[in-house]
């Protein structure tokens, strides 16, 4: 497994379940982090309970010895060797080769496919690859999903008349997207397209004071990887927020 985000962690949890059935399976986790604990996140203190639970579960799995950690690892080459795969690179600054690999799972980021929109007038930021107006609001170098301020139709409007990219793809390469944000994007855009201009200018979100919604993590099929039992809910009432505010917090 290559990558240090939540997608990589979820895949590792699935591989750990597979490992219980096929006990000869060895799992290696390749990261660029200086220390493995950097990926564990806020755990019990995370405003998103499910995200915090991922950190707890992966830490338990790592400390059990079922995952071999290679970090910081910088890959210089990938070569086929007798039907297997060999990774060539540097581990902690020293030359290192890892061979006899059956499969590599890469979870190191993504970008939406906009190739089918070549005949549509769109305006994308060169770095984040979201629409230009949204890019500074979601830049992962500045924001987490809890500090992205509410936004809607106005920020999502492309040069093409009545054309919008909403949901996860609206964030381009930024990993800070929350489903609740996407639902509000759609509501705001639909309001505008149906003539409710004032409704489009207001974004209504149900968020906790931390700025992100707490949700339960469903129970795992692996008894060695516990699931969350903490039932935290979001703010009790809908909070209307006028678009264009400079405040970075989602719920105050």
pLDDT of residue 167: 93
> Does residue 163 fall inside a structural domain?
no
> Does residue 54 fall inside a structural domain?
yes
Question: What are the residues facing 234 on neighbouring strands?
Answer: none
| CA–CA distance, 197 with 25 (Å, rounded to integer) | 57
> Does residue 15 fall inside a structural domain?
yes
> Does residue 109 fall inside a structural domain?
no
Q: Is the pTM higher than 0.85?
A: no
| CA–CA distance, 15 with 22 (Å, rounded to integer) | 10
pLDDT per residue rounded down to tens, the chain (252 residues): 999 888 899 999 999 999 999 999 999 999 999 889 888 888 887 777 888 889 999 999 999 999 999 999 999 999 999 999 999 999 999 999 999 999 999 998 888 889 999 999 999 999 999 999 999 888 877 766 666 777 899 999 999 999 999 999 999 998 878 888 899 999 999 999 999 999 999 877 754 433 333 333 334 444 444 444 333 322 222 223 333 333 333 322
- Whether a cis peptide bond, with omega within 30° of 0, leads into 50 is no
> Does residue 202 fall inside a structural domain?
no
Question: For the packed helices 6-21 and 49-63, what is the interaxial angle rounded to 10 degrees?
Answer: 50
> Does residue 132 fall inside a structural domain?
no
| CA–CA distance, 229 with 131 (Å, rounded to integer) | 38
pLDDT of residue 143: 66
Closest CA to 149 of 4, 16, 250, 43: 250
> Does residue 238 fall inside a structural domain?
no
Q: 56: domain range? A: 6-101
Buried b / exposed e along 30-66 (16+ C-beta atoms within 10 A) = bbeeeebeebbbeeeebbbbbbbbbbbbbbebbeeeb
> Does residue 229 fall inside a structural domain?
no
| CA–CA distance, 125 with 133 (Å, rounded to integer) | 8
CATH number at 20 reads 3.50.50
Reduced 3-state DSSP string for the chain: CECCCHHHHHHHHHHHHHHHHCCCCCEEEECCCCCHHHHCCCHHHCCCHHHHHHHHHHHHHHHCCCEEEECCEEEEEEEEECCEEEEEEEECCEEEEEEEECCCCECCCCCCCCHHHCCCCCCECCCCCCECCCHHHHCCCCCCCCCCCCCCHHHHECCCCCCECCHHHHHCCCCCCCHHHHHHHHHHHHHHHCCCHHHHHEEEECCCCCCCCCCCCCCCCCCCCCCCCCCCCCCCCCEEEECCCCCCCCCC
User: What is the domain count for the chain?
Assistant: 1
- Report the residue count for the chain: 252
Radius of gyration of the chain (CA): 21
């Amino acid at each position: 497994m290559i990558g240090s985000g939540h997608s990589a962690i979820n895949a590792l949890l699935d591989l750990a379940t597979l490992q219980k059935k096929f006990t000869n399976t060895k799992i290696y986790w390749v990261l660029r982090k200086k220390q493995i604990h950097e990926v564990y996140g806020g755990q019990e203190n995370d405003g998103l309970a499910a995200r915090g639970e991922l950190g707890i579960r992966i830490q338990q799995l790592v400390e059990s010895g079922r995952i071999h950690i290679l970090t910081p690892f910088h890959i210089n080459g990938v070569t086929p060797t007798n039907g297997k795969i060999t990774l060539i690179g540097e581990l902690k600054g020293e030359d290192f080769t890892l061979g006899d690999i059956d499969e590599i799972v890469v979870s190191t980021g993504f970008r939406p496919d906009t190739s089918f929109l070549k005949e549509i007038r769109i305006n994308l930021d060169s770095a984040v690859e979201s629409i230009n107006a949204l890019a500074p609001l979601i830049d992962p170098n500045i924001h987490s999903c809890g500090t992205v301020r509410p936004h809607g139709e106005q920020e999502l409007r492309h040069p093409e008349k009545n054309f919008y990219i909403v949901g996860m793809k609206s964030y381009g390469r930024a990993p800070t997207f929350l489903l609740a944000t996407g639902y509000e994007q759609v509501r705001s855009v639909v309001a505008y397209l149906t003539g409710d201009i004032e409704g489009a200018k207001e974004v209504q979100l149900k968020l906790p004071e931390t700025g992100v919604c707490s949700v339960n993590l469903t129970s795992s099929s692996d008894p060695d990887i516990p699931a969350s039992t903490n039932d935290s809910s979001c703010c009790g009432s809908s909070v209307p927020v006028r678009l264009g505010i400079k405040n970075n917090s989602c719920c105050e």
